[in-house]
Amino acid sequence: MSDIRRRRVPRPVREQQIIDAAIRVFARRGYHAASVDEIAELAGISKPMVYLYLDSKEGLFLACLRREAERLLAVFRAAAVPAHSPELRLRAGLLAFFTFVTEHRDSWVVLHRQSSEPSPAITAELARSRRALLAEVTGLVRADIAASDGPARPDDDAEFVAYTLVGAADSLTDWMALHPGEPPERITLRLMNMVWVGMRNVLDGEVWTTPTQLP
């Protein structure tokens, strides 16, 4: 480290340290159970600093949401560049996602595992960031529709596929925790194997191909 026992730290740096600590605590305890005191202590600072810089517990949480949503989206967009074919874009996007979650597990928990509605502002920001990710995925899926030779499908289908993909990826996040050795590449590969063919089925209209007996 280059900081020679510097107790006093300039505001922009300290703000990031506070947000770093907050993400860890919010992820571990959830919004309500997290205490600002614990966050402050983890950031190596006392509570009033948090209020001076981030305004309130809600403001602190919003700052976490905004910063991490931005980060995740940036990583995702950088990977799924339009230069590739639709399926390679999707593959790259998934790989970027799994890599991100491997490195920033807490961020994903804060962004996507919040059940309650602590306040209108938080509900809104949470909805914003989730919609942004879903929109990105839906865009990839739609690019695939355009590349397909079938008739134009309603947007419903792209959205449906996007929800399926995001949900699957989120759940596989837990699977990763159970299998620490597994590299993101292998998970991406297996998930691609599992959904790529099926996506075309859904996007080309619903034709369940192999019913062996009818109910």
Partner DNA sequence: GCGTAACCTTACTCGCCAGTAAGGTTAGGG
Partner DNA sequence: CCCTAACCTTACTGGCGAGTAAGGTTACGC
Binding site for DNA (CB under 7 A): 6-11, 14, 33-37, 45-49, 51-52, 56-58
Query: Of these, 2, 7, 149, 210, which contacts a copy of itself (CB under 8 A)?
Result: 210
> Least distance in Å: CB of 108 to DNA?
22
User: Quick one: what does residue 146 bind among a copy of itself, DNA, none, with the CB cut-off 5 to 8 Å set by partner type?
Assistant: none
Exactly one of 9, 20, 30, 102 binds a copy of itself (CB under 8 A); which one?
Answer: 30
Q: How many residues does the chain have?
A: 215
CA dihedral (124, 127, 128, 129) in degrees, to 10, reads 130
Cβ contacts of 82 within 8 Å, gap of 6 or more? 89, 143
- The reply on whether position 150 binds a copy of itself by CB under 8 A is no
Helix/strand/coil (H/E/C) assignment for every residue in 29-90: HCCCCCCHHHHHHHCCCCHHHHHHHHCCHHHHHHHHHHHHHHHHHHHHHHHCCCCCCHHHHH
Interface residues with a copy of itself (CB under 8 A) are: 27-33, 84-85, 87-88, 92, 109, 113-118, 156-157, 159-161, 163-172, 174-175, 178-179, 186, 189-199, 201-202, 206-213, 215
